[in-house]
Chains A and B, each alone.
Chain A
Amino acid sequence: MTTNPKGCDPVITIKDLKNAFGDQVIHDGVNLTVCRGEILGVVGGSGTGKSVLLRSIIGLQTPESGEIEVLGENMIDRDEDEAKNIRRRWGILFQNGALFSTLTVAENVEVPIREYFPYITPPLLDEIASFKIAMGGLPADAGPKFPSELSGGMVKRAGIARALALDPELLFLDEPTSGLDPISAAAFDQLILSLQKRLGLTVFLITHDLDTLHSICDRIAVLADKKVIGVGTIPELLALDHPWIQEYFNGPRGRAAAASYDREVTA
């Protein structure tokens, strides 16, 4: 199940990735391709290295061996200047938002723009920040607030606004709905979906949320046994007959999520 769908224009290509911390091997032979314009969900049990995979793709973790290509460029052992050109083309939402705590939400959104485009005048910069904030689904009065004054859901929305600051082609989301109540989580799913449709984004999404998987993901990659054991839609994955996949999607929570999704689709 590692074949790519037809007409796939690969945005991320991972080949034989190996990651280890000391003796503890996290990934051994991970292969994965993310196609342009899709929302790919990555699932796996706790400790299977979902976040480590994300960190190695974005260059925060140097793998032991293997190849990683993002937007057609090799990501391993690059020098900092070259890497900057790619960093400009992606946006990342970290699990806990990772907003700069000494800056307001608007200033947080402006940071990447200032960094790469210092000649944009302050009035235009402020306007860009404010429409990005609106795009992230935050109310108008959130701009001058500091991260400590925001609720969990708002922190994630502000994180999305910052990730979208440079109009990225590729968006990485690390557990975007964790810690949100179901209503906010559903709203956040819809936000991601609408942004993806509007802006033609490619989304790499790590999640535990079965509802997210059902409602917005085009394909799902399953991490287990130190590798990607399957990629595809939920029915395709279920056809694989892997015990973890069966347990995951056919467990009580998986069935409930599937049922509610079916209701939603047929209604």
Chain B
Amino acid sequence: MTCRIKGGGGAGKCGAPPFVRLHLPLWPISRINPPCMAEHDHPQGDDPHRSVYRVAGALTITRAATTQREINALPDPLTIDLSEVERMDTVGAWIVYRTVRDRHADVIGASRDEVSLLKQVSEFDAPARVRPEERPSVLRVLTEIGEWIAEIGVTLLGLLGFFGAVLVGSANVIRRPARRFRVNAVVTRFDVVGVRALGIIGLMSFLIGIVIAQQGAVQLAQFGAEVYTINLIGRITVRELGVLMTAIMVAGRSGSAFAAQIGTMKITEEIDAMRTIGVSPIEALVIPRMMAAILMMPLLAFWAILTALFGGGLFVWLDLTIPPLTYVQRLQEVIPMTDLWIALIKAPVFGFIIALSGCFQGMLVEGNSEEVGSRTTTAVVQSIFLVIVLDAVFAVFFSSIGWK
């Protein structure tokens, strides 16, 4: 019996005692011929049709794709000759193993290390599923619609419940203001929601004022009615856009922050800690935010209206050469007081909606940090949507009571 010893991999090969048959429940490995026992002089002597795949050098993940392709190209029955392999890793071993398993190939020339590696990977051959089960698409669409509708119902119910909890919390605070009212928290929220938003809301409204004036002037010039640009600016900003744009800005700026802050506190179990200490999270977290949004919204909306009127006035002055004094006088004439009332009535309602959905979505966060992101998005979308729906309701309502 002769034995081929090759290159650097020779040390471990052909060592005594000769390979011991492995006692494995899995049969394929037992087909791996022990080194030094196979008839190396005539490796394919008894079957001239056997194809032989001889791997030389490294049988590792680096060459996995090529090796697999080459093995696939060879016809059955197949013999894999590992005698010239210098390095094998688990992926290389896996490729050999799966060929033995699926195609009943013979393996010759494996060193003891290689046999033990092959044995190891065979132990990990569990029929694991890799992809989640996929159901037929029709069923999936139906399920998703169903889940979606159910979720809307649950969310609305939850929102109602949360609203109730907030009312109870407010009642508690009102009943015992000295102990339950958290001045510091409220003042901090006023600062964050109100004062710090002045810059961005002012800038945004100023630009919107200019845009309305410019677009209005272009259209009205066609009828020679440029002077009515002032009516347009005055009524649309005071009655609608000032409040609406402020609400959208506050929803994006503060509503999202409410959801993210409370959501994070939910994940880090801060809210649970509060409850166990006896502090009501509704009173400590939600009510200050609600108050800030409700009280700051009218102020911010008023500020937005002023800056928008200022921007419009600047355009009217520079482009239509209407002097500022005339602009202010005209504004006084065309804007009815009810327009401002409408704005100031809508603003706190919008603030309430924004804070409610922000805090509610924050409280719904459970599990992982990914949910904070998705809940925050939901909070913003939900609050802007509700604000616009309510704005439409208000528009119809105020028109019908004669505030035109």
Contact = CB atoms under 8 A, between A and B. Distances in A.
Report, as a range, how many residues of chain B touch the other chain.
Answer: 20 to 34
A144 B61 contact: no
B129 A140 contact: yes
B101 to A, nearest CB: 10
Contacts of B94: 127-128, 131
Contacts of A81: none
A148 B372 CA distance: 14
Contacts of A218: none
A142 B368 contact: no
Given A120-B65, A134-B124, A148 B368 contact: yes
Interface in A164-209: 166-167, 198-199
B90 A199 contact: yes
B128 A101 contact: no
A214 B81 CA distance: 43
Contact of A121 (B68, B131, B367): B68
A54 to B, nearest CB: 23
A129 B121 contact: no
Contact of B61 (A101, A113, A121, A127): A113
Interface string B42-62: 000000000000000000111
B68 A106 contact: no
Contacts of A140: 126-129
Interface string A135-146: 100011111100
Report, as a range, how many residues of chain A touch the other chain.
Answer: 20 to 34
A131 B118 CA distance: 12
Interface string B364-404: 00011010000000000000000000000000000000000
A104 interface: yes
A21 interface: no
B128 A117 contact: no
The residue among A144, A166, A167 with the most chain B CB atoms within 10 A of its own CB is A167
Interface in A104-163: 104, 106, 113, 116-117, 119-121, 124, 126-135, 139-144, 147-148
Contacts of B68: 120-121, 124
B64 interface: yes
B65 A117 contact: yes
Interface string B347-367: 000000000000000000001
Contacts of B61: 113, 116-117, 166-167
A144 B120 contact: no
A199 B66 CA distance: 23
B265 interface: no
A136 to B, nearest CB: 9
A106 B65 contact: no
B128 A143 contact: yes
Given A121-B65, A140-B126, 12 more contacts: A101-B368, A113-B61, A117-B64, A119-B65, A124-B98, A128-B91, A130-B127, A130-B129, A133-B128, A143-B131, A147-B368, A167-B89
Q: Pick the 10 closest A-B CB pairs, nearest first.
A: A119-B65, A130-B128, A134-B124, A144-B132, A106-B130, A140-B128, A167-B89, A131-B124, A140-B126, A126-B130
9 contacts: A116-B61, A129-B130, A131-B126, A134-B123, A134-B125, A141-B129, A142-B128, A148-B367, A167-B90
